Amino acid sequence: MDARIVNPSWVLVGGLISIFPAHAGEALTQAPAVMLANVFEDADVDVSGYWVSEKLDGIRAYWDGWALWSRHGNRINAPVWFTNPLPHVALDGELWAGRNRFEFASSTILDAEPSDTAWREIRFMVFDLPERTKPFSQRLEALRSMHEVLPSFVEIVQQHPFVSRELLLDELNRVVTAGGEGLMLHGGDSFYRGDRSDDLLKMKPARDAEARVVDYTAGKGKYAGQVGALVVETRDGLRFSVGSGLSDNDRLDPPKIGTWVTYRYQTLTANGIPRFARLVRKTTPAPL
C-alpha cells in the first residue's frame, strides 16, 4: 500500500501504522538534537553494514512536522508554499541547490526575508525519518514508501549498500569526478540519536597544498592572548586563514612569518578559498 498521511503524527507504511513524535499541533520551540557524523577513517570498518549516499553540499534542515530548523536550532524562514505541503511528520535532510552551489543555497536559506524566486531553486533532500525506535534500514524503507505523498521539491536521497571498500572507493571517485563533495555512510542497524557517532560517517577526499605564513589573527575566548589562526598566502597570491589543526604550542609559538606550511582542505568555495583548511605541518624546505 502506498504511504498516506492519515493524521499529523501517523504514517501508514505497507499496511502498518508507524508512529512518529507528535508535537501537539504546533512547532517545537527548538529543534531536536540531530545525528552528526564522524569522519570516515581508513580503519577496519565493515562497509557492508552501511547505506551509502552522496554527501550534499547544502544546509542541514530538520522538519519537525510544523517548522524547518537548522542543525544549530535556528528557525529557517522558508516561503509558506514550501512548508505548507510538507507532511506533519519529522524529516531530516539537506536544503540543496545542486552541486557547487553552496553559497547560493546558504544565502537563500539564511535570508530573513525569503525570496520566492531563489527558493524555487532549492530542493529538500530527505535522508532520514527521525523515528527513534526503529533501526535505519527500517526508517529508510518507510521513507521510500512516502515518495508519492511528498511535494515535487522534496526528494528522497538515493542510498545503496556496498559490499567492499574497493567498490566504495570507486563510488567516491565517481561522485567527486562528477562534481560531488563526497559520501555519507549510515549504519543500517543504527537508531536515531542526537549525537556524533560512527553510526553516521562522512567520507571526502582530502587535498594537501602549501602556503606561506604572512600574518596572524588574535585568539578569542580560551585562546585570548594567543594566536587564533595563521594568515597564509599561496603562490598565486590568495590569502586566507588557517585556524584548525593548530596545537597549543603552535598558538603560543606559531610558525614564523615567511614559513611555508602544508594545509589540508576538502573543497574550494566559489571564490577559490579552501574550505575547512587545517594545518598539517611546517614545510621545510620551502616547496618548489
CA pair distance 37, 244, nearest whole angstrom: 18
Tell me the residue type at 139.
R
CA pair distance 250, 199, nearest whole angstrom: 33
CA pair distance 33, 72, nearest whole angstrom: 9
pLDDT in tens, 100-151: 899 899 999 989 899 999 999 999 999 999 987 899 999 999 999 999 999 9
Pull the grid cell for residue 8.
499529523
Tell me the residue type at 83.
T
pLDDT in tens, 146-202: 999 999 999 999 999 998 888 998 999 899 889 898 999 999 999 999 999 999 999
pLDDT in tens, 5-48: 333 333 444 333 343 443 434 555 666 789 999 888 765 678 99
Question: Which residues have a catalytic role annotated?
Answer: 55
Backbone angles phi, psi at 265, to 5 degrees: -145, 170
pLDDT in tens, 208-265: 889 999 999 999 999 999 999 999 999 889 999 999 899 999 999 999 999 999 998 8
Domains and CATH numbers, the chain: 4-203 (3.30.470.30), 207-282 (2.40.50.140)
pLDDT at res. 21: 41
CA pair distance 269, 9, nearest whole angstrom: 40
Three-state DSSP state, 48: helix
Decide: pTM greater than 0.85: no
Pull the grid cell for residue 176.
567527486
Backbone angles phi, psi at 242, to 5 degrees: -125, 105
Pull the grid cell for residue 111.
535570508
H/E segment holding residue 231: strand 227-233
Total Cβ atoms within 10 A of residue 156? 18
pLDDT at res. 28: 59
